Structure 1
Amino acid sequence: MEPTETALIVAVPETERAVGRFRSTLDRAAGWGVPAHVTVLYPFLPPDRVDDDVLTTLRLVFDATPRFDVTFAEVSWFGDTVVWLSPAAG
């Protein structure tokens, strides 16, 4: 299948055990091999615009961003098809 969209995500493999069974029935992307993740930016660029320059720029940005901890406090829905986890304040 030819990709039609791109997104920036952070894979969170530690959550697969908790959400994997739901993702297999609720998340088309799971069937495409997209891991359990936090979406950073969607949509990103059309696939044909993601080239070596874009990837290099992303690496520079991500390498310059310090690690941080996050706690998810609440499970919510976008409509009836997308589950998202709300980060705790503070």
Structure 2
Amino acid sequence: MSFIYMIIMGLIVGVIARAIKPGADAMGWILTIVLGIIGALVGGFLAGMLGMNANGGFTGLIFSVIGAIIVLFVYELATGKRRIG
């Protein structure tokens, strides 16, 4: 059951991060789920470095979205996509 929960939360976090970050990110549902899962890992790492507990709840969601936005910026740098505007 935790695997299904991870996929659903990855999708939610990925969609929120893509909605917040400006620019067109052409990626499908699977990449959005992967983005959300990796973003949650990055967000958990950031929360740990700040000495905060981000295990679930609203704080965990916020740190996961922040981590996913960071991953989106790194993804753009790695793929060479340029922002217009």
Higher RCO (Cα < 8 Å, 6 or more apart): 2
- Select the structure that is richer in helix: 2
TM-score by length of 1: 0.24
- Select the structure that is richer in strand: 1
TM-score by length of 2: 0.25
Bigger radius of gyration:
1
